[in-house]
Amino acid sequence: MTVNDSSNYTIEDSNQSNIRRAITLLLGGVMLIFLVGVLFGFGAKILEDQNFSLTSGLILTGIVVAIAAGATFMWKQLKARPAAQMANSERKSRNIYIASMAMGAALGIYIMATSGPDFDTIFSNGPISATTAIGALIGWLVLMPAITVLWWRTTDEHELKAYSDGALFAFHLYIFVAPSWWMMARAGWLPQHDPMIVFAIVMIVWSAVWLIRKYR
């Protein structure tokens, strides 16, 4: 193997490792959000029913331990590449990712805490209180756009291209899936179209393509 071959192998191996880490972070983030929802839904249900037992306590403890372990693992993945090896723009982008993930988790907790004890509160289409709606709208219409603008002004051309590729792929997925689901629901083949499920699918696909393109 020549020196160049060895160098290329090292770069390719590093890129594959970065892709695996990116996918792990994406799936781990989805799992953490799910576990936080389970924790608050289950905990609120216990408080409402006033039915705390050893079994329920062990379940709550297990969920908390799983969340802590998952968060620790994801933090180690984020820190896997030392900041000293990153360009300034990449380091700032990573910090913005962390801030946006923390904000998303906080928003999910807020919705669960202010909307009642039902497990599916955060995914439901049912009515919510004005307090929940106002807090969620502040997150989605004020804080999230501010973070996005900051990210646009910070990130480099390579990541912007990866982001744009993900957006293009996800948008075309949406224009294929949304009307198809709507039509099949009208024919009685699928349940009624749920915009938030489609939104979640589109966002997961967007993030996956974005991260794969970024670390490819």
| Judgement on whether residues 88 and 102 belong to the same structural domain of the protein | yes
| Judgement on whether residues 164 and 191 belong to the same structural domain of the protein | yes
| Judgement on whether residues 181 and 139 belong to the same structural domain of the protein | no
Q: How far is Cα 111 from Cα 105, in angstroms, rounded to an integer?
A: 10
**Residue at which a domain ends, from 136, 155, 174:** 155
pLDDT of residue 36: 73
Predicted confidence (pLDDT) per residue in 2-21, tens digit: 444 444 445 555 556 666 76
| Judgement on whether residues 203 and 171 belong to the same structural domain of the protein | yes
| Judgement on whether residues 172 and 128 belong to the same structural domain of the protein | no
| Judgement on whether residues 133 and 167 belong to the same structural domain of the protein | no
Domain that holds residue 166: 157-216
**Residue at which a domain ends, from 133, 155, 177:** 155
Name the 3-class secondary structure at 173: helix
| Judgement on whether residues 117 and 140 belong to the same structural domain of the protein | yes
**What region, left, alpha or beta, does residue 65 occupy, with left being phi > 0 and alpha being psi -120 to 50 degrees?**
alpha
pLDDT along the chain (216 residues), means of 10: 46 60 70 73 71 79 84 73 63 78 78 65 74 89 90 86 92 93 92 84 86 77
Q: How far is Cα 151 from Cα 153, in angstroms, rounded to an integer?
A: 5
Measured over the CA atoms of residue 121, residue 197, residue 133 and residue 66, the dihedral's sign is positive
Q: Which amino acid is at 148?
A: T
In the chain, the largest separation of any two C-alpha atoms, in whole Å, equals: 70
Name the 3-class secondary structure at 155: coil
**Residue at which a domain ends, from 155, 172, 206:** 155
| Judgement on whether residues 26 and 121 belong to the same structural domain of the protein | yes
| Judgement on whether residues 142 and 173 belong to the same structural domain of the protein | no
Secondary structure (DSSP) of 32-90: HHHHHHHHHHHHHHHHHHT---HHHHHHHHHHHHHHHHHHHHHHHHHTSS-GGGS-HHH
pLDDT of residue 4: 47
pLDDT of residue 19: 66
| Judgement on whether residues 9 and 47 belong to the same structural domain of the protein | yes
The rounded radius of gyration (Å) of the Cα atoms in the chain is: 20
CA-CA distances (angstroms) from residue 92 to 131, 151, 163, 191, 216? 33, 8, 16, 43, 20
Q: How many domains does the chain have?
A: 2
| Judgement on whether residues 40 and 120 belong to the same structural domain of the protein | yes
| Judgement on whether residues 105 and 182 belong to the same structural domain of the protein | no
